[in-house]
Structure 1
Amino acid sequence: MRSSMFTLGGYASGQFLRLASNLILTRLLFPEAFGMMALVSVIMQGLAMFSDVGVSPSIMQSKRGDDQKFLDTAWTIQVIRGVFLWIAACLLAVPVASLYGEPLLAWILPSAGISLLVAGFNPTRLDTASRHLLIGRLTGLDLAVQALTLVIAILLSWYLQSVWALVISGIVSTILLLFAYNIFLPGQRNRFQWESEAAAELIGFGKWIFLSTICGFLYMQGDKLLIGKFLTLDQFGIYNIGFFLASFPLLMGSMMTRKILIPVYRERPPAESEENFRKLQKMRFLLTAGMMALTGSVSVAGVVLIDLMYDARYLMAGPVVVLIAAMQMPQLLVLTYEQAALAAGDSRRFFVLSVARAVLVLGCLYTGLRFGGLFGALIGQGVAGVAAYPFVVWLARHAQAWDAKHDAVFACIGAIVIAFALWINLDAVVALASE
């Protein structure tokens, strides 16, 4: 519970800082800058996820998660990966710039890739702290660096009046985090080491994580890949403003379950006893209720929020917020199930779920874009979330974590909230549909 509160408080504070940054930077920069950085972020995340070998979840779930030889081997793999990621960013720069018709990307991508290189040197003390739920210190460090980065980004944007302000501030943020983790987190300093047994365990568990994160990238970032290709850069920037506001409850819940539920499931597996299942059920009800309340509130107030916080250039983001938040309701039902498989070391079933989600999201998004433009794409996201539910149930039942009562209750609540949000904002949604 303490770790949950730190995670929620840290995420809420971080989102407040991002919102403050967003409000200030949208007045210093134009929508095209945010569209450009959205493309860069998608590509950087794609590189990171397409090469993720599951070092962090391996450390969190392994019996050797506190063995320094195991940790040093994991860190060595992570550093090598960071070097290759930066090289890949350099190699992709010109082809991506050509694909999207933005020559500046050829210079921005290699520069932004420096962040991936630096992050490869982050100490495994970061994962050890998460393994033992030392979330308070991690939250404090992340917030301090985020606040400092916000100041740097604002000053650079005011001085440069260019997308380069966002690129440079992102690199500085990664460097500051590296120093903060090395100075303020407890544990031994990592050294280059290769232990065959540790490497075999990391690679054996991580091969399915690697495949899962490729699919996870397509599932999580497929909207930006496709919408970024179909829309103009300024429209894409407006979409990302709407996505930022609409998605913070879901992203907060996802982050909390990743940080907390693997250790919880590892120590109290639901298959072990009825008592464990009931305790997890109670936590699941509280988490889903909170996430639905937040997401529903954002969906209902989406148009008003955009009108209050942004100028006329961003008004079309209002109905985008309404629809994105509403269409994310199905995903809230299943936030707490995935980590049960990872905690048990079952990365293969997690991979199957990731494949199903990626196929459904890309298929529904493309169909929606083809026949309904942006409005169709947003509806497609909701359809994909519903269609993926049977795969989540299959995974959760194997870990004996599925809770039919929870899902039935919140499916009804979610349907009511969606209907109310669409009714309140009907005029704005109809205007978006007619675009």
Structure 2
Amino acid sequence: MKTALTGQSLMARVVRSTSWIILGFGTGQVLRLASNLALTRLLFPEAFGLMALVTVIIIGLSLFSDMGVSNAIAQNPRGDDPDFLDSAWTVQICRGGLLWALTGVLALPAAAFYNADELAYCLPIAGFSLALQGFTPTRVETAYRHLMVGRVTAITLAAQVFGIASMVTLAILTQSVVALAIGSVLQEAARLALAHLALPGRKNQFRWEPAATKELIGMGKWIFLSTACFFLTTQGDRAILGKYLTLEAMGIYNIAFFLASFPVQLGQDVNQRLMIPVYRDKPARENPHNRRKQRQLRFVLTAGILSMLWLMAWIGPWLVDLLYDARYDDAGAIIVLLAASLAPSIIVLTYDRAALAAGNTKGFFFYTATRAMLQTALFLLGMTQFGLIGGIAALGLAVVFSYPVLMRHTRPYAAQDPLHDIGFLSASLIICGGALTYHWDQISSVLLQM
């Protein structure tokens, strides 16, 4: 136990980093829940629907323009080279400024498309956070590269507290959705200031080294395409639902998604920050011992994250009744549907980083593209033919149908584990199926209203 906490081996750093990520994510979710409860009493459901649309557009811009700087620093042999890091930082700043400008360009068209006039001013305000993100020092990614994430976690949580306090204060003063937009910018500003002040290491300088830029663009072209597809798999449901649902119903769905998806978000965070170093430093194809260790880690992560999702499938409606007022009662039934449909995405979560760790961004893109196209097509088909239940079911079906592509692209890295997949899928079918049956009366009532 002492070695796991103080040693410098890869697994010791994995244990410590996992602990910090889980602690940071758990604390962050508690803070988000607390702010959510306060803000739902200060503002109206439509405000959360509107802010969900703002978030979808901002995340969409961010993902559709991602050059893979984080992955490049984590995977590239030059990930500790000052010239490489400064060039990456310069690229980030240029990208952030361009994205903020795009939020202004898209504001009026988005307001017209979603028939929400408030988007015209909320989107450029919240979009300023993208410009601020561009100035984030590469010391943050260096800490993740070497699995030393304690101080980064503390900075993130401190900034979140500041952002929440700002949102609540502004909501009391303005009684307007603009409080959420300004609060998100203040939170990003606090995170940026703390990262520059509190993280050790050299300060970044403006630099444009041709060789480093070429490497970033070479890796980034496939990451760019992959993250564009990742947007469709993680945000596409809300981008489409914004056209089908009223802002009030969209706000209720967003509350449900916040509660149901936190295990998935935790899994994505752990997977992004830990599995690349694990696959990079201890390749399974080079040593059977490495493969066994990866398999053990995969089983532990999947079991832990799925257990939280299973629990949410059962207690979601009761949790909503306990925490929220009557305006949000329908969110409970949606949580059960979402939890059941999101289970497959957790089961396959740890696989795709094997290709990224080996620098195979092209293979990673083909899998994410397949899954994104399937999910988008199935979601549109499900919504038009079966309503909300069809759209939610598409989130899980897309993972199942794209599974053969994932297995093909992970085969060269000895990352496949059929026993893991079959076992956890069978357990999910039983546990989530039981939750759907138990709560079906409430679910069917909500579906009729939406």
TM-score (norm 1): 0.99
Answering whether residue 225 of structure 2 is matched by residue 211 of structure 1, we say yes
Match of 2:435 among 399, 421, 430: 421
* Superposed CA offset, 1:66-95 (max 9, x none): 000000000111111011101111111111
* Superposed CA offset, 1:41-71 (max 9, x none): 0000011111100011001101110000000
In structure 1, what residue type is equivalent to 2:153?
A: T
Contact 2:100 2:127 in 1 (8 A): yes
Distance in 2, Cα, partners of 1:52 & 1:278: 33
CA shift for structure 1 position 376: 1.7
Match of 1:252 among 266, 269, 288: 266
* Superposed CA offset, 1:229-280 (max 9, x none): 1000100000000000000001101111101111111100111110000000
Counterpart residue number, 1:221: 235
* Superposed CA offset, 1:194-249 (max 9, x none): 11111111111111000111111111111001111100010000000000000000
Counterpart residue number, 2:7: none
In structure 2, what residue type is equivalent to 1:31?
A: P
CA shift for structure 1 position 430: 2.0
Match of 1:380 among 377, 394, 404: 394
Contact 1:208 1:348 in 2 (8 A): yes
Contact 1:54 1:202 in 2 (8 A): yes
Identity of aligned residues (%): 46
Q: Report 1:275-354 matches (<5 A).
A: 275-354=289-368
Q: Report 1:144-155 matches (<5 A).
A: 144-155=158-169
Distance in 2, Cα, partners of 1:371 & 1:408: 30
Contact 2:382 2:391 in 1 (8 A): yes
Distance in 2, Cα, partners of 1:306 & 1:158: 23
Distance in 1, Cα, partners of 2:376 & 2:412: 27
In structure 2, what residue type is equivalent to 1:298?
A: M
Contact 1:70 1:198 in 2 (8 A): yes
Distance in 1, Cα, partners of 2:54 & 2:238: 11
Counterpart residue number, 2:90: 76
CA shift for structure 1 position 363: 0.9
Distance in 1, Cα, partners of 2:447 & 2:121: 36
Distance in 1, Cα, partners of 2:278 & 2:225: 25
SS of 2:80 mapped into structure 1: coil
Counterpart residue number, 2:145: 131
Distance in 2, Cα, partners of 1:432 & 1:360: 26
CA shift for structure 1 position 432: 2.7
Answering whether residue 34 of structure 2 is matched by residue 34 of structure 1, we say no
Distance in 2, Cα, partners of 1:233 & 1:433: 17
* Superposed CA offset, 1:107-132 (max 9, x none): 11111111101110111111101101
Contact 2:162 2:190 in 1 (8 A): no
Distance in 2, Cα, partners of 1:239 & 1:364: 19
Answering whether residue 277 of structure 2 is matched by residue 263 of structure 1, we say yes
In structure 2, what residue type is equivalent to 1:306?
A: V
Quote the RMSD (CA, aligned, Å): 0.9
CA shift for structure 1 position 365: 0.8
Instruction: Using the TM superposition, name which of 101-110 and 228-237 deviates more.
Output: 101-110
Distance in 2, Cα, partners of 1:117 & 1:151: 22
Counterpart residue number, 2:175: 161
Contact 2:72 2:219 in 1 (8 A): yes
SS of 1:3 mapped into structure 2: helix
- List alignment gaps of at least 5 residues for structure 1: none
In structure 2, what residue type is equivalent to 1:401?
A: A
In structure 1, what residue type is equivalent to 2:348?
A: V
Answering whether residue 160 of structure 2 is matched by residue 185 of structure 1, we say no
Aligned residues: 435
CA shift for structure 1 position 331: 0.8
CA shift for structure 1 position 434: 2.9
Counterpart residue number, 2:215: 201
Contact 2:371 2:398 in 1 (8 A): yes
Answering whether residue 247 of structure 2 is matched by residue 233 of structure 1, we say yes
SS of 2:387 mapped into structure 1: helix
